[in-house]
Amino acid sequence: MEHSARFDAGSLTKDYPRPPGIPENALLSAVCGHEICVRTGCDPTILMPVSRVAMESLDNIQYLGNLGTVPCYVLEITGSVELPVGFVLSSVRDLDGKIPDEELAIAGLAVQIADYNRTTRFCGKCGTRTAPSQTERAKICLSCHYMTYARLSPAIIVLVRKEENILLVHGKQAPAGRFSLVAGFVEPGETIEHAVHREVREEAGIEILNVRYLASEPWPFPNSLMIGFVADYAGGILTPDGIEIESAGWFDRANLPNFPPRISLTYALIDRWISGNLPEH
């Protein structure tokens, strides 16, 4: 069963070279920090016609892609800017279930690209001002022409099985009572598969086998790509590392603790296990 990624912004197609300026039929999403502007009421949306927004400069606007034939952009605003009537700021997570999934994915992309624009205003090589490339999603230095692409941080997440149980861990930074799957960032010089084995060993003290890919999820908090696996317990004594992981345990279907909501890949993997839709051992 293919995973339906909540933050897959595949509905947007990138059309380069970009048109000069902002077309009159464009749609804008507005981002302030890590929050996005959303229209409240019976038909909430994060997209607004460009005509509704006063823009003194194009420096804070980035192209997201085309929704059908309509170009979409993200505008970064400051907390001092007055929002359009009927709009409020919201975290992307809080929009789950309140706007269509297509717009939820665009909201995640908008926040991610606004963060990318904010952190790449100057060249990391020579310090000169950068400008958006007209031919791809990148920033180009106006002096040395060094290209800076949007940062993407690959991270693994793994559902470990032991007979009819799965491994769940409680991280020190997690809400009280919230358990999740083992996860962590891929380090330089290692394969994704090696990262799966290493993270399970480091966080839980056990060994695994039969590592198989399941699904992926763009995770714009702020720029991760979650890569999901299933694996089987191979041996060792369950031992939380005490640094990132506070406690860990084996749980069966009848005694699952609180775990992350459906917006996450964690939920999707656990849901597939509950439904019996995982590869055989």
Of all residues in the chain, the percent with pLDDT exceeding 70 is 96
> What's the mean pLDDT in 227-237?
97
Domain ranges of the chain: 12-118, 153-274
- pLDDT of 57 reads 54
- pLDDT of 162 reads 97
Do the Cβ atoms of 84 and 92 come closer than 8 Å?
Answer: no
- pLDDT of 55 reads 56
Q: How high does pLDDT run on average in the chain?
A: 92
Q: Minimal CA–CA distance to 29: which of 15, 5, 45, 8?
A: 45
154 pLDDT higher than 70: yes
Do the Cβ atoms of 3 and 274 come closer than 8 Å?
Answer: no
Confidence label for 59 from pLDDT (cuts 50, 70 and 90):
low
- 12-118: CATH number: 3.90.79
- pLDDT of 50 reads 83
Summarize pLDDT for 106-147 with one digit per residue, the tens: 999 999 999 999 999 999 999 999 999 989 999 999 999 999
Q: Quickly tell me which residue has 């293919």 as its tokens.
A: 2
51 pLDDT higher than 80: no
pTM of the complete model: 0.92
- Upper half-sphere CA count for residue 201 (Cβ side, 13 Å): 10
Q: Minimal CA–CA distance to 279: which of 230, 224, 235?
A: 230
- pLDDT of 52 reads 60
- pLDDT of 24 reads 86
Q: Minimal CA–CA distance to 159: which of 195, 206, 211, 225?
A: 211
105 to 8, 88, 119, 263: CA distances (angstroms): 6, 18, 21, 11
Of all residues in the chain, the percent with pLDDT exceeding 90 is 81
Residues 6+ apart with CB under 8 A from 277: 1
Q: Quickly tell me which residue has 């990132």 as its tokens.
A: 244
- pLDDT of 234 reads 98
Do the Cβ atoms of 244 and 172 come closer than 8 Å?
Answer: yes
Confidence label for 21 from pLDDT (cuts 50, 70 and 90):
confident
267 pLDDT higher than 60: yes
Residues 6+ apart with CB under 8 A from 7: 104, 105, 108, 109, 217, 218, 219, 220
- pLDDT of 75 reads 92
Looking at residue 187, what DSSP letter applies? P
The whole-angstrom distance between residue 239's C-alpha and the CA centroid of its chain comes to 29
Distance CA 151, CA 109 (A): 12
184 pLDDT higher than 90: yes
In this chain, the answer to whether the domains covering 12-118 and 153-274 adopt an identical fold is: yes
According to the CATH classification, is domain 153-274 in 3.90.79.10? yes
Distance CA 112, CA 220 (A): 6
